[in-house]
Structure formats: C-alpha cells, structure tokens
Amino acid sequence: MSYLMPVYQPLAIEFQRGQGCYLWDHQDKRYLDAISGVGVTLLGHAHPDIHTEIVAQSQTFLHLSNLFKHTWNERLAEKLAQITGLTQTFFCNSGTEANETAIKLARLYGHQRGIQCPKIIVMQHAFHGRTLGALSATAKPDYRQAFGPLLTGFEFVAFHDLAAIEAYQNDPDVVAVLLEPIQGEAGVNIASTFYLKQLKVLCDQQNWLLMLDEIQCGLGRTGTWFYYQQAEICPDVLTIAKGLGNGLPIGACLTHPKLGHLLQSGLHGSTFGGNPLACRVAYRVLDLLETQYLQSVSAKGYHLLDLLQSKLTGLHNIKSVRGVGLMIAIELIHPIENLTKIASEQFNLLLNVTQGKIIRLLPPLIMTDLQIEYLAQQIYGLLKACYLSDK
C-alpha cells in the first residue's frame, strides 16, 4: 500500500543518486536523463555550485516570512529585470501560481478600466497549470471535466491563428492574451517569431496585455534567455518557474511598473514565495547559465535536431521531428505502448511522451556533444526496435 494519493503513475524505478545528466537506480544502473524533471534541472543533478549555495544558506536561515526583508529576493528580482526588461516581480512556488498571479493582474487591469467581467483570450491545447484559475485557462478536457464549474472569462482560440484573435477587436471586455509561445504539454507547438511580433502589435493597439507563459520554454531552453527575445518583443507580463531553481520550488510573475503597482499590500501573497533559500539558488542558476551554459544551447540544439532528423527521417512511424534549442519533439504517427518503460529498461534513457505519441525531449542544458550523440543513437535504436517488434 502507498500512502500517496494516486495522482501520478511513475515508472517502477527508484533512483538513489544523480550526477550531471545521469541518474542511478537502487541497483546502480545508470540512465541518461533526457527530460530533466520535465524541464526543471537545467544544470543537471548534484551541481556542485548549487550544493554550495544550499549549504551556505541553510547555515543562516531558511525562512523569514514576507514580514521581513532579506537580500536574496531583491537581488534575484534585479537580475531578472536585467534579463527580461520587466522590472516588477512577484515570487511564488510554481508555474501554476505564477499564472494565477497573471490572471489576477489581468482582472485588476480590467477593473481599473471599468470592465466588470474581464475576458482573457487563451489558446486551444494550452496548459497553464492545475489550480482552479490556471486550469480554467487550460484547454485539455481530461484535466478540466472533473472540476467544474471552472472560472468564466476565458475565450479559447486556435493556437498560432492571429485572425482568430483579431476577431475580438470589438469586444470591450477583452483585457489580455495569455499563451505559451511554445506549447510544451501539447507537444512542442512553436509560435513563429513573426506571429509573436504581430500579436504584440495587436495587443498594443487594443490596450490588451500580452501575457507570455515561458515556464517550460524559458530560461535558456531555446537558446536565448526567453523565446520572446528571438521575436525582439517584450511582453507586458511574463510567467516563469521550472528551471529557475534547478529543482527547488520557485516561480515568478514579472511585469512592467504600470502593472506592478496594481497588486498592493494585502491583495496577493505567498507564505513561501521569495524565500531566501530558493532565491539564493535561483540567483546562482542565472549566474551559471549566463557565464557558462547559455551561449552553447543553440549549437547543441541544432546538433541534436540535425542528428535526430537525419537518423529518423524515413523511419517507420515518424511523422515529424521539430524543436528550438534543447526543446525537441519527435511526433509519431501511431502511439507505441509502454515506450518510456522500454526506453528506460532496454536503452537506459529517461524520456517523456505527451499527447500519447509525441516524444518530448528537454535534456539538461549542460549536456555534452558526446551525450547528445549517444542520446540520438539510443533514440534511433529504441524506435527501430519498437518497429521491428511490431512486425
């Protein structure tokens, strides 16, 4: 009997330790981690610099509450402002909470404009989290149907369809557009930089907030700090989490000053948000990304994508291989039963499958060229073996 609620279905592997891009189970079998905790451990496992920061902070204090000041939340907010161009930050514990904050901001923004029932345009196939507000902005029926009635005020449109958003120009209740510029849970659906540029122009013209959820695709994953920077735009609101703490829970909602003032004292909060341990580690994560890893992500991503496309093109059951940086999808024509189990047991690979037939790769950004080549070869072997076993 397990004392855990059965909300997850993990593989029957119990890990004992990790180092870099590898994890070891209780039998000391080594696995190459190509999913990094679903995009969380950007710097891999047991990074010595992260360990140093955790130990150092644990020797002073781990928690103070938001009744008192400490240096690390201010330093981290300043660092994020330098990176993003957004100068007001609210810290929380997860991406879901960051998106809840964004939704609250959009509604406050609408109320200040005299709009009683503000609407937010959101995307089909979106995933913004599982708390009630974020779930209401999430399009997946399997996640939604058990928890109705959900919040109203969300208008769903097709992803990457500017005309569908333009159709709301005469709706006086629309206040914001919320989207993932690369939909991760949906299978690495990539918005073009041209689309993002045009969407920003439209939002500015309509006085709508452009709110980008880069919880999965941000923080260097696509080869720049954030994917929106490749479109040379800046959103009004940005939500981030996952890799920010390299495994420690931390999220953030960032805005321009014109919005940051909306959340005055008492209107919003988080007991653990902005705690010194998470903020100190996150500051070091950003420093390491900036000085050691970010500049090589694009080249690594091109290398992995090129290897996968050359090896898998023409292989049975492959529909497409796509990606940006080290966020890559291999879409299958037909699902393969127990694919992640076969990958771990027979090929020593940790993979993720989303939407039933899309292999999603989110490897640590520290992965070496040799590890990338090994990963591509093992995936080729895995998919070829699955094809042969089906014949």
Tokens of 255: 């805005």
> Three-state SS string across 263-304, please?
CCCCCCCCCCCCCHHHHHHHHHHHHHHHHHHHHHHHHHHHHH
Taking CA atoms, 296 is separated from 180, 254, 284, in Å, by 24, 26, 18
Across the range 327-353, mean pLDDT stands at 97
For residue 352, the model assigns a pLDDT of: 97
Taking CA atoms, 36 is separated from 19, 86, 349, 361, in Å, by 12, 27, 11, 9
Range 13-46+294-388: architecture per CATH: Alpha-Beta Complex (3.90)
Q: Indicate the burial class of 58 (C-beta count within 10 angstroms; 0-12, 13-18, 19 or more).
A: exposed
CATH no. of 47-291: 3.40.640.10
Given 119, 200, 242, 300, which residue is catalytic?
Answer: 242
For residue 390, the model assigns a pLDDT of: 60
Across the range 285-290, mean pLDDT stands at 99
Q: From CA 334, how far away is CA 316, in angstroms rounded?
A: 10
Phi-psi region of 192 (alpha: psi -120 to 50; beta: other; left: phi over 0): beta
pLDDT, one tens digit per residue, over 217-249 is 999 999 999 999 999 999 999 999 999 999 999
Q: How confident is the model at residue 1 (pLDDT cuts 50, 70, 90)?
A: confident
Q: From CA 74, how far away is CA 66, in angstroms rounded?
A: 12
pLDDT, one tens digit per residue, over 172-202 is 999 999 999 999 999 999 999 999 999 999 9
Given 119, 213, 236, 311, which residue is catalytic?
Answer: 213
Tokens of 271: 């007991």
Q: How confident is the model at residue 40 (pLDDT cuts 50, 70, 90)?
A: very high
Checking if the pLDDT of 332 tops 90, the result is yes
**127 flagged as catalytic:** yes
pTM tops 0.95, yes or no: yes
Q: List all residues 6 or more positions away from 61 whose beta carbon is below 8 Å from its beta carbon.
A: 70, 276
Residue with tokens 């609250």: 104
Q: From CA 376, how far away is CA 32, in angstroms rounded?
A: 11
For residue 370, the model assigns a pLDDT of: 99
pLDDT, one tens digit per residue, over 136-159 is 999 989 999 999 999 999 999 999
Tokens of 316: 């049975």
Checking if the pLDDT of 391 tops 70, the result is no
**242 flagged as catalytic:** yes
Q: From CA 277, how far away is CA 177, in angstroms rounded?
A: 33
The length of the chain in residues reads 391
- Averaged pLDDT of the chain: 97
pLDDT, one tens digit per residue, over 366-389 is 999 999 999 999 999 999 999 766
Q: From CA 87, how far away is CA 172, in angstroms rounded?
A: 28
Q: What are the phi and psi torsion angles at 168 (to 5°)?
A: -95, 10
Given 90, 91, 127, 226, which residue is catalytic?
Answer: 127
**What is the share, in percent, of the chain residues with pLDDT greater than 70?**
99
SS3 content of the chain, % helix, strand, coil (to 5): 40, 20, 40
Q: From CA 271, how far away is CA 67, in angstroms rounded?
A: 10
> Three-state SS string across 62-119, please?
CCCCCCCCCHHHHHHHHHHHHHHCCCEEEEECCHHHHHHHHHHHHHHHHHHCCCCCCE
Ranges for all domains in the chain classified under CATH 3.90.1150.10 = 13-46+294-388
Do the beta carbons of residue 371 and residue 21 sit within 8 Å?
Answer: yes
Ranges for all domains in the chain classified under CATH 3.40.640.10 = 47-291
For residue 337, the model assigns a pLDDT of: 94
